[in-house]
Amino acid sequence: MKKVLVLEDEANIRSFVVLNLKRAGYETVEAGSGEEALELLKQHPDIRLALLDVMLPGIDGFEVCHRIRASNSKVGIIMLTARTQEMDKVTGLMTGADDYVTKPFSPAELTARVDALSRRLGGDTAPVDNGEISQPPFLLNTRNRTLSKNGQRIKLTQVEYSVMKLFMDNPGKALSREEILESVWGRDYYGEVKIVDVNIRRLRLKVEDDPTNPTYITTVWGFGYKWGF
């Protein structure tokens, strides 16, 4: 059974989330603080996905996300944000989260987002081929889902990997943000197309020589992005 960590300091919200995840077939591990969440992740290496509330006593959800990513690129992360938080600030701070859900959310929305991320993490749609896409200086290995540039490994989240795979399967083709969203996040994604921009911004920091002047992932104004070769 897929194990989900639920980090939320408000007990009633936490039990609401846990109840709905259990109904949807997930096993849950509960944390009331960021420190506790990090400890539980160490104790349960089989946790596949983490829901992180942002506003917490002690270290906040962004810091928890940051610390998880420092050691683990595999776990899926969904941030639980409040509507009152400015989205620009939130997205800027989402270093390493795969998705976010805005409070208040319905049980259906939450489980749909968890299901969608969980499916993407499954990696069960990986094609069986020779496993490598070489576009120097980049090499994408679809078997271990890794990317390297000039032989140097670039650490990617599973979502970032999926975006890179889409780009490298379509070199030189302008892809609309909606197309990227549908291909990577799935047709049933409830969120906003902005999540694409958040991930592209982060990918540029990892793959570009100069992220402020991107040459590999170029912007197609008013449309989307292009893997520019």
Residues in contact with Ca ion by CB under 5 A are: 9, 53, 55
Which residue, judged by CB position, is nearest to Ca ion in the bound state?
55
Q: How far is the CB of 198 from Ca ion (least distance, A)?
A: 21
Whether residue 50 contacts residue 78, with contact meaning beta carbons closer than 8 Å, is answered with yes
Q: Tell me whether residue 55 or residue 59 sits nearer to Ca ion (CB atom).
A: 55
Q: How far is the CB of 94 from Ca ion (least distance, A)?
A: 16
Q: How far is the CB of 189 from Ca ion (least distance, A)?
A: 25
3-state secondary structure of 128: coil
- DSSP string for 158-226: HHHHHHHHHHHHSTT-EEEHHHHHHHHH-TT--S-THHHHHHHHHHHHHH-SSTTS-SSEEEETTTEEE
Q: Tell me whether residue 53 or residue 98 sits nearer to Ca ion (CB atom).
A: 53
Whether residue 58 contacts residue 35, with contact meaning beta carbons closer than 8 Å, is answered with yes
Q: How far is the CB of 17 from Ca ion (least distance, A)?
A: 12
Q: Tell me whether residue 35 or residue 115 sits nearer to Ca ion (CB atom).
A: 35
Q: Tell me whether residue 9 or residue 30 sits nearer to Ca ion (CB atom).
A: 9
